[in-house]
Chain A
Amino acid sequence: MFLARVTGRLVATISYPGLDGVPLQWIQPLDEDGQPCGPQLVACAAIGSGPGDLVHFVDGREAAVALEETYVPVDATIIGYVEQVQRADATAWVEAQP
């Protein structure tokens, strides 16, 4: 489970049965400071997230478990919004476009 920022949407006109209607979104994984970390990837959305949102996602087999149809070929799914990340040094960064 990792932090990410939704950066865009993606439309696949033909997708595997069971993935019909599942939103696909571009996400940029983030590090603990909210900075981009690694390449962007495409994730399914189990919540109503959209571009600009700060979210967390799960990867691997659990990505499919988070969806309504759980036997589908996906490897990343957005599972929640992130409102705030509070750090040990009392700094906090919150939901806002960087």
Chain B
Amino acid sequence: MILAEVIGTVVSPVQIPVLDGRKLLLLKPVTPSGAPAGQARIGIDTIGAGMGDRVLVIQEGNSSRQILQEPKGAVKTVIVGFVDEVEMGGEIVYDHANS
């Protein structure tokens, strides 16, 4: 699982059926302190995340299929958690309430 920030929404009018009706968000992977950490990717939202939110993201097919209950879906990147707080070495490096 990785930590990412929601930086945009993606509108996809034609896609494989498993994605129909699902909200796609543009995600930027970040380090615990919030610095960019890798290529932006598209994730399927399952928690109602919005712009600017810090989220937990899985990038594995079987887990994604399980969460979406789509045993044959070609899905890989799914937002599974909303991050409230990140602590590193006893220090709070991200706090949603103060961000």
Contact = CB atoms under 8 A, between A and B. Distances in A.
Given A62-B74, A65-B61, A85 B8 contact: yes
B75 A58 contact: yes
Interface in B1-44: 6-16, 19, 24, 26, 28, 39-44
A31 B39 contact: yes
B42 A3 contact: yes
A77 interface: yes
Interface of A: 1-3, 29, 31-32, 37-38, 46-48, 56, 58-63, 65-66, 70, 77, 79-88
Contacts of A82: 10-12
Nearest to A63: B74
B66 to A, nearest CB: 13
30 contacts: A1-B24, A1-B42, A1-B75, A1-B76, A1-B77, A32-B28, A32-B40, A37-B39, A46-B16, A58-B76, A60-B61, A60-B76, A62-B61, A65-B61, A65-B73, A66-B16, A70-B72, A77-B74, A79-B19, A79-B74, A80-B12, A80-B14, A80-B15, A80-B19, A81-B14, A82-B11, A83-B12, A87-B7, A87-B26, A88-B8
A84 B7 contact: no
Contacts of B41: 1-2
What class of interface size applies to chain B in its complex with A? 20 to 34
Query: Taking each of A31, A38, A62, which has the highest tally of chain B beta carbons within 10 Å of its own beta carbon?
Result: A62
A81 B77 CA distance: 17
B51 interface: yes
Given A3-B42, A47-B14, A85-B10, 19 more contacts: A1-B43, A1-B77, A32-B7, A37-B40, A46-B74, A56-B10, A58-B76, A63-B74, A65-B72, A80-B12, A80-B14, A80-B19, A82-B10, A82-B11, A83-B11, A84-B11, A86-B8, A87-B8, A88-B52
